[in-house]
Structure 1
């Protein structure tokens, strides 16, 4: 019989299999995961809200579903769990306690997952690093003085250190894929509207934001998307239906794919040589696996696309804050929010409704241009990031200054990920090795709208050819 702590070194599917075979109990897994969090979390600050007693009670009751008994973590952004505070990593908004699970959490619960707590994130989920004033910084287990990325940085640190096998994240510009890249994990952003955001929303920021998980294995990501994907009553639109379960795509022949690759930033920012090298090596690996690989990128005006996208994102931040203001019954002031978030809010308030709709029109036009690239190509490969994980404090979110210059600085770090949020296409960050400093490197793959299946097949092929899950960071449970 395996020890429960050893079982946590397996992926979520492996843990669920042990539970089904009664080789380990849900209660034992929960206690082992709690012990790991208590042992490791002080070093990385990943879990900021703990719900241990609720998990213990759930583990003692009847459980069903493909992940029955598997420990899991939710993110403290837009993920409502009944009876647990949702702060959005912000001091503004009060201690809001949802009275019901949102649809995504309900589906996770129905799959048998056991929630141990909520993870760290930047204020209101804005920015590619997790250093909120409320909780303090999440620390990268590969180097504690470096960022975990954002906004799902707490989730990434929790999975990378072995607290849990997979954790919830959401992504409006790279917030699943950036932390996955920083922490050596697999991260998939699904197609727009693949997962529901009911009951409070039809979509979030005109469908730019998407929920899913960060995981150590490709098969976990696929199987977890199977349990959450699909529309719910009243959704304004939904992703194309599936030919078969995502789990069935893992290990399936991806066939000979037409893969374009590029290491050029779409807005002309520099790319670290380690990131360039990793992507070029992956291109050669893909050729050796039988794929057709050529250097090419979408003929899109990256600067204009970026301006339109950030205008829409700014409106989304203003919308999110307006919702909090309505909840607490007063307007926010600069003292209520971190300077970087306030800069976005100020831009949102200066923008007129016609200006917003023009920006949305421009973003959608560029997204159509990007989608056209996939008529001739199945997949687009780039680095995930412009550099490996940066030192904490690089982005100075707590200081004032030129908000536009700050956003530009951030896009130097993550110049590729936001484009698939704007277009709604599925995209994934796949581990690509480590540099000489021991920091993870990662590749970014974008697929056609609605075609996560091809990405999962390709990711599983890369995972088999170049495994990554066996290498652990210096900080690990």
Structure 2
């Protein structure tokens, strides 16, 4: 199957956001020209990829002209308010009304200078790891449209990988930045809890799992965005990131983790990609040694119970969130299955919440022995469309999800940063990714390592 992308010699070219912003500043191009190129590219590939939830290319929301990414086009995920736009959360269970105000996250994006041109698709309430639906067309992977683009920020990842925009907003409550980044060959950083503006959905959770960020095609785009966002809203409880511009010279202790908390078996190609990346890090001068997280099956059970609690909150509280048009009967089978799971687990709520809240402490202790952990992002390569469809029976679907999303949720519960970076391609041409994680507040180390990997092993390009 041929790859689907829109790269050409138009105003966007194959430039990243930093380069485009520099061209706008030098008046070699304009925000309007970039916007026109986005419109043409979206018209070319989105009918097949289905990454757009809302097209406002002709009527964008402009970012701050003094921001470092001024004039660069982007898209926002369909669970984040943009004033005047209907935000749908990936569901047909309610009729979305125009948002009254920008979300704080949206204001932070606009402060970096980015121009917002629309919303990107996601699975229902971000509960799935593939952007698929019970009745609607799925979002497809531009590297091969027969396969999943990941989730929940699947629309953002598909459109960035296909070249429609250089970066796009994403958020992550269990891997939803890193999973689609890995599936689509992108860079995806989940920041530390509290690093960026508070996410309204996460703030309602008993344990806030959600961090916002972007997916990008270059480390410097992610680093530039994070530095600008951190300047806009500094969290005094965290060390400042500053602008990371390249690798550091520090020799790090890197723990290689190949045993997943879910017990999932890692496929051979993924294991090879991670071990090859470990060898590269060793050649760069770092000490790489085997490691384990010490997190076992109880964590998996607790996370599944918590995942169910979130779905139960949607089923029972959707009318309070979305108004009278909300109809829980229109929610998909995964949402209902998770809610039913929680109903059976409800008596355990105080116990599993207590154990999950203690994860941050045990996770932090890992970094008395290691500076960084290296692992897969996912236990296997992206599945074909349908494998993770919400129409699959609940017990089978949750088993498949836990066997796929084997490494990412731990950092959400711990509130710690992690980054997915490309690690080559599998025999079928789909991207492979690796996962780097560290202690809360230390995004700088992750970005420095990612710069070093990008320099020594440039990412595969979808355009050949």
TM score, norm. by length of structure 1: 0.90
Cα distance in 2, alignment partners of residues 330 and 165 from structure 1: 36
Q: Match of 1:89?
A: 90
SS at match of 1:52: coil
Kindly tell me: are residues 257 and 200 of structure 1, through their superposed partners in 2, closer, same or farther at Cα, counting changes over 3 Å?
closer
Q: Match of 1:108?
A: 109
2:428 is the counterpart of 1:431: no
The ranges of structure 1 where at least 4 consecutive aligned residues each deviate by more than 4 angstroms after the TM superposition are 198-201, 230-233
Residue in structure 1 matching 2:270, options 268, 272, 275:
275
Residue in structure 1 matching 2:359, options 358, 366, 375:
366
Cα distance in 2, alignment partners of residues 141 and 180 from structure 1: 12
Alpha-carbon shift at residue 383 of structure 1 (Å): 1.0
Kindly tell me: are residues 201 and 150 of structure 1, through their superposed partners in 2, closer, same or farther at Cα, counting changes over 3 Å?
closer
Kindly tell me: are residues 84 and 331 of structure 1, through their superposed partners in 2, closer, same or farther at Cα, counting changes over 3 Å?
closer
1:355-414 CA-partner distances (Å, limit 9, x unpaired): 322111111233422221111100011111111111000023124x3x344222111111
Note if contact 1:209-1:421 (Cα within 8 Å) is conserved in structure 2: yes
Note if contact 1:121-1:132 (Cα within 8 Å) is conserved in structure 2: no
Residue in structure 1 matching 2:334, options 340, 350, 356:
340
Cα distance in 2, alignment partners of residues 97 and 349 from structure 1: 33
Alpha-carbon shift at residue 231 of structure 1 (Å): 9.0
Alpha-carbon shift at residue 454 of structure 1 (Å): 0.5
SS at match of 2:119: strand
Kindly tell me: are residues 110 and 393 of structure 1, through their superposed partners in 2, closer, same or farther at Cα, counting changes over 3 Å?
same
2:18 is the counterpart of 1:13: yes
Q: Match of 1:307?
A: 301
SS at match of 2:215: strand
Cα distance in 2, alignment partners of residues 365 and 183 from structure 1: 33
Alpha-carbon shift at residue 449 of structure 1 (Å): 1.1
Alpha-carbon shift at residue 146 of structure 1 (Å): 0.3
Kindly tell me: are residues 264 and 376 of structure 1, through their superposed partners in 2, closer, same or farther at Cα, counting changes over 3 Å?
same
SS at match of 2:342: helix
| Counterpart mapping for 1:211-250 below 5 A | 211-229=212-230, 240-245=237-242, 247=243, 249-250=244-245
Q: Match of 1:316?
A: 310
How well do the aligned residues superpose, as a CA RMSD in angstroms? Answer: 2.3
Q: Match of 2:158?
A: 157
Cα distance in 1, alignment partners of residues 406 and 133 from structure 2: 22
Note if contact 1:428-1:444 (Cα within 8 Å) is conserved in structure 2: yes
Kindly tell me: are residues 323 and 197 of structure 1, through their superposed partners in 2, closer, same or farther at Cα, counting changes over 3 Å?
farther
Length, aligned pairs only: 456
1:239-272 CA-partner distances (Å, limit 9, x unpaired): 7333451x2x231415000001022222221110
Note if contact 2:142-2:162 (Cα within 8 Å) is conserved in structure 1: yes
Cα distance in 2, alignment partners of residues 178 and 49 from structure 1: 22
Note if contact 1:188-1:428 (Cα within 8 Å) is conserved in structure 2: yes
1:39-58 CA-partner distances (Å, limit 9, x unpaired): 11112111121012212x84
Kindly tell me: are residues 321 and 205 of structure 1, through their superposed partners in 2, closer, same or farther at Cα, counting changes over 3 Å?
farther
Gaps of at least 5 residues in structure 2 are 1-7
SS at match of 1:388: coil
Cα distance in 2, alignment partners of residues 139 and 424 from structure 1: 30
Q: Match of 2:371?
A: 378
Alpha-carbon shift at residue 314 of structure 1 (Å): 1.8
Q: Match of 2:452?
A: 461
1:328-351 CA-partner distances (Å, limit 9, x unpaired): 237744x31110111112233444
Gaps of at least 5 residues in structure 1 are none
SS at match of 1:80: coil
Kindly tell me: are residues 150 and 201 of structure 1, through their superposed partners in 2, closer, same or farther at Cα, counting changes over 3 Å?
closer
SS at match of 1:271: coil
Kindly tell me: are residues 473 and 156 of structure 1, through their superposed partners in 2, closer, same or farther at Cα, counting changes over 3 Å?
farther
Q: Match of 2:145?
A: 144
Cα distance in 2, alignment partners of residues 203 and 291 from structure 1: 40
Alpha-carbon shift at residue 310 of structure 1 (Å): 1.8
2:248 is the counterpart of 1:257: no
Q: Match of 1:130?
A: 131
TM score, norm. by length of structure 2: 0.93
